[in-house]
Amino acid sequence: MNNNNDIPSYIESLKQKLHHHNYRYHVLNDPEISDSEYDKMMQELISLESSNPELLTQDSPSARVGAPPLAKFENVIHSIPMLSLDNAFSDEDIFEFEKRIKKILNTCDKILYTVEPKIDGLAVELTYENGKLLKGSTRGDGLRGELITENIKTISNVPIILQGLSMEIPSYIEVRGEVYIGKDEFKTLNNIRLQEGQPLFANPRNAASGSLRQLDSRITAKRPLKIFFYNISQINDISLESHSESLILLEKLGFTINPIIKSKVYIEDVLKYYRELSEVRDNLPYEIDGIVIKVDNLNFQKDLGTTSKSPRWAIAYKFKAIQETTKLLNIEVQVGRTGVLTPVAHLEPVNIAGVIVSRATLHNEDEIRRKDIKIGDFVLVQRAGDVIPEVVKVIESKRTGEEKNFEMPRVCPVCSSSVFKEEGEAHARCININCSAQIKERIRHFASKGAFDIDGLGEKLVEQLVDKKIISSSADIFNLKTETLKELERMGEKSAQNLIDAIEKSKMITLNRFLYALGIRHIGEHIAKILSNHFKKLDNILNSTQETFQTIYGIGSIVGDSIKNFLKSDENQKEIKRILNSGVQIIEENSHELPKLLTGKIFVLTGSLNSISRSQAKKSIEDLGGKVSGSVSRNTDYVVLGDSPGSKLDRAKDLGIKIIDEEEFKKIIETRI
């Protein structure tokens, strides 16, 4: 900029660039700039708009940071009611649904449907005029909702300006979507609230709803909200014949569509999709509670019409509940690898989504107090995938007065050593490093997938080895002999030899995995990578000062103190030397840098791989500059096909994505190394 006359045009240029990069990132999954470059551009725009408030417009990308609080929400009447869906709970219900459709349409022909995951979130409606976001509202009672435009703008993948993909933007369009919070983001959000002493959200849906209905949109902007769009309720200038066609149009206009939606399928494939999704739902990054089935033909939808509550052309086929009520029988305290004492609830067994749950985490003593949990309480228990079930809340109305308060032990329940709770920390710890419970957990962590990845060294075997005093530290693993192992329970000579082979194979390890394996407090996989990228060699870390650690981006004083305290211990230094003297070789990151010949390529893995683990396949792709996605989209380059593939295969076929088997995949990897 040469003068103030250039500022308006420069701001407009920045806005257009940011809208473009939002579209590249959220819709095309093909960013052109780094996150840091995007953030720098956004901060520059915010700074210029702050200095020139008269140039701030409603469609600015800076709306993502939120606006000053409102006194209350205005109501908005939906031009077309946002009706709720009827629910189905069995295949018979779905067959009845189709039978009713055929009767109303007076046809014996097979009906085509579009099926999609039923996201457990909050339904919203967005209105655009001439390509600009005009207003956003909640579903409310279906007829009228709350006007939440400023909050909607803070969601990163909501287009404030429609981009279009070589097409004309409609002059008016109303779209509907589901706002949600991902599983990992929900866990992080609740951890923050726990640290701040705020009440926890019971589930991701409540968190999304509470976040979206904040009068201060600056609070909403700090919440990790996302949205999938699923419907066009009104549109000018463009004629559509099917629901699947409308989804394609939405994606072209810059709206994020769920990539695992299936279109134009018959009732048999609808039920197949339901079963496939029920099997993989725990692996999805967001919560779903069923599938939504919609008649694909829009003329049929009009002919079918609606009841006073629900459309006749759509239905939700619900999964089994993942939250159930049961009785808390007792609370046991477990000891982890760093000595942390964790209370665990013993429950009256309850079936949650097909799994019998009899134990659930209570996290720590402070949370038990905050939730007012007592032994004998009836509690709401939640299960999500492979995550340990947790107690969400107490059902106070079921209390009888016979419930008992729980007290954390003042000595370790395993070794009877003193328990110490540092000021400001939520967890109490056993301070005896020779506690057998800690030893077992450290060894399990050392052998885990993100560390040495020793196949066959599982929980039960570690317990036997420690209890029989065959091993007492991680370094002892490398001294195990077939003769000793084959005498153990459930271990024959072949199993023993397989474990010895796995241990030998594990001896070649990268620096970041080695650091993670040591089990240093606060050093997870991410921090271990930061350290390995910075120091390159183990000796550089061992000889570094505490001040050096604190100067590394992403490593604060707490992490720096933890590393140095660990390395100051003579016992820990001896353990590291014993591991290295056992033949372990640390492959330095800079000594085997692979050419980035898969840069920009996106892979999706489906089914079980036989000759290579998923984690190894993912690492090979990423080492060569490629990316691994959990879902198939138009931007996917390869779908790698294993045994018993899921719905990703059908999606890949529909989109014409290149499908390769395991052998072809290995050839791609090997020819590029």
Is 112 a residue whose pLDDT tops 50? yes
Per residue in 209-258, pLDDT (tens digit) is 889 988 888 899 899 999 999 999 999 989 999 999 999 999 999 999 99
- So what's the pLDDT on residue 67? 62
Mean pLDDT, residues 318-335 taken together: 89
Distance between CA atoms of 488 and 506, rounded to whole angstroms? 22
List, in sequence order, every beta strand (DSSP E) within 271-340. 288-295, 314-318, 323-335
Is 367 a residue whose pLDDT tops 80? yes
Of residues 318 and 600, the one with the higher pLDDT is 318
**CA angle at 77 for the pair 71 and 78, rounded to the nearest 5°:** 125
Per residue in 337-359, pLDDT (tens digit) is 888 999 999 999 988 766 788 99
Distance between CA atoms of 597 and 215, rounded to whole angstroms? 49
Distance between CA atoms of 462 and 458, rounded to whole angstroms? 6
Distance between CA atoms of 223 and 221, rounded to whole angstroms? 6
- So what's the pLDDT on residue 25? 64
Mean pLDDT, residues 112-123 taken together: 94
Mean pLDDT, residues 83-88 taken together: 88
Annotated catalytic residue, options 15, 118, 226, 440: 118
Is 591 a residue whose pLDDT tops 50? no
Of residues 158 and 643, the one with the higher pLDDT is 158
CB 495 within 8 A of CB 420: no
CB 256 within 8 A of CB 104: no
**CA angle at 515 for the pair 549 and 472, rounded to the nearest 5°:** 125
- List domains and CATH numbers for the chain: 4-65 (1.10.287.610), 87-318 (3.30.470.30), 323-398+409-420 (2.40.50.140), 436-590 (1.10.150.20), 602-672 (3.40.50.10190)
Rank 3-17, 93-107, 534-548 by mean pLDDT and report only the highest: 93-107
Distance between CA atoms of 476 and 178, rounded to whole angstroms? 52
Q: Which residues contact 446 (CB under 8 A, 6 or more apart)?
A: 452, 474, 477, 517, 518, 519
Distance between CA atoms of 255 and 240, rounded to whole angstroms? 17
Other CB atoms within a 10 A radius of the CB of residue 170 amount to 20
Per the annotation, the verdict on 118 as an active-site residue is yes
Residue 384 half-sphere exposure, CB side, CA atoms within 13 Å? 20
Of residues 29 and 118, the one with the higher pLDDT is 118
Per residue in 602-656, pLDDT (tens digit) is 888 888 777 677 777 887 787 777 888 877 887 788 999 887 777 788 888 888 8
List, in sequence order, every beta strand (DSSP E) within 396-495. 419-420, 429-430
Per residue in 291-310, pLDDT (tens digit) is 999 999 999 999 999 887 78
Q: Given pLDDT bands bounded at 50, 70 and 90, which one contains residue 30?
A: low
Give the length of the chain: 673
Is 592 a residue whose pLDDT tops 50? no
Q: How far apart are the first and last CA of the chain?
A: 47
CB 135 within 8 A of CB 127: yes
Average pLDDT over the chain reads 86
Mean pLDDT, residues 144-169 taken together: 86
Q: Match 């579009």 to its residue by tokens.
A: 114
- So what's the pLDDT on residue 326? 95
